[in-house]
Copies of this chain bind each other. A is one copy, B any other.
Amino acid sequence: MKVVTQASEMMAALAEHGRPRVLVPTMGALHQGHLALIHRAHVLAGTQGTVVVSLFVNPIQFDRAEDLAAYPRPQEADLAACRGAGVGVVFAPEAAAMYAADRSVTVQETQLSRSLCGAARPGHFDGVCTVVLKLFLLSGCEMAVFGEKDFQQLAVIRRMVRDLNVPVTLISHPTVREADGLAMSSRNVRLSAAQRADAPRLRQALLAAQAAFQAGTRTPTDLLAVVRQVIGVSGLLRVDYLSLVDAESLESVERIERPALLATAVFYGDVRLIDHIRLQP
């Protein structure tokens, strides 16, 4: 496994490896969810291709300095996990290798990123788009694998690929969950024992709303009330947003006539967790 830390060394490192190149962009702190993406990348790359994993905690997508500082960075464990998963090339740059001090060019998305996480985290998705485009261009990948857990990120990147004619095929992979239903996230390790025990409530609330939907409940008000009822019980979490949006435009809907997403972000202390569920009329 080749570990690259400088952008300028990527081309030489990749030249020794076959095509297609399949990129799995991560911020490190790899868990089973990431490993599922890497496994999917191997299937896509086939026997001749190369799986490329990036480990980079992207500073420009953080809106809160304390969240950036607290983000876990277990690099030795990450490299061992990549080695164990048969990754061909790991790209693990320092921030200075990705962003010049006088950098002045970014990618902006102005539609899909206005709601949900984008509303709560100004600049977040522009930072995501910018780093993802850089990683696409540095790796020269034909395909890239993203987790569906970050569905808004996926929608924004899909839009970027379309609007900028980026020659990369996006592959999405279902959310991987703990046995108790909590969506895997690098932030989960920062939960206290009590918070961790409470956190499956998020998934339970969304499942309860989905069940209500399937039983005939159709108005956003009633569905959101079901979610609030389940997540509101323990008092350990604070809701950041809770929205019912069109699955494509990510805009709020009043009536569910096309596929919709029930999406939420909550805080346990200063740890922010997200989850969503699909409602198919």
Contact = CB atoms under 8 A, between A and B. Distances in A.
A164 B108 contact: no
A31 interface: no
- Which of the listed residues A109, A129, A164 has the most CB atoms from chain B within 10 Å of its own CB? A164
A104 B113 CA distance: 9
Interface string A102-119: 111111111110000000
Given A137-B166, A165-B134, A160 B7 contact: no
Interface string A87-115: 00000000000011011111111111000
B105 A165 contact: no
Contacts of A103: 163
Given A105-B162, A105-B163, A106-B163, 7 more contacts: A102-B111, A104-B111, A104-B112, A105-B160, A107-B107, A107-B164, A140-B167
> What 10 pairs between A and B have smallest CB-CB spacing?
A104-B111, A105-B163, A137-B165, A105-B160, A134-B165, A138-B165, A103-B163, A104-B110, A105-B109, A108-B108
Contacts of A11: 167
How many copies of this kind of chain does the complex include? 2
Interface of A: 7, 11, 99-100, 102-112, 129-130, 133-134, 137-138, 140, 159-160, 162-167
Nearest to A167: B137
Contacts of A137: 164-167
Contacts of A160: 105
A100 B110 CA distance: 14
11 contacts: A11-B167, A104-B109, A104-B111, A104-B159, A105-B110, A105-B159, A105-B164, A106-B163, A107-B107, A138-B165, A140-B167
A133 B140 CA distance: 15
- Which of the listed residues A7, A102, A104, A134 has the most CB atoms from chain B within 10 Å of its own CB? A104
- Which of the listed residues A7, A106, A111, A134 has the most CB atoms from chain B within 10 Å of its own CB? A106
Contacts of A165: 7, 134, 137-138
Contacts of A107: 105-108, 164
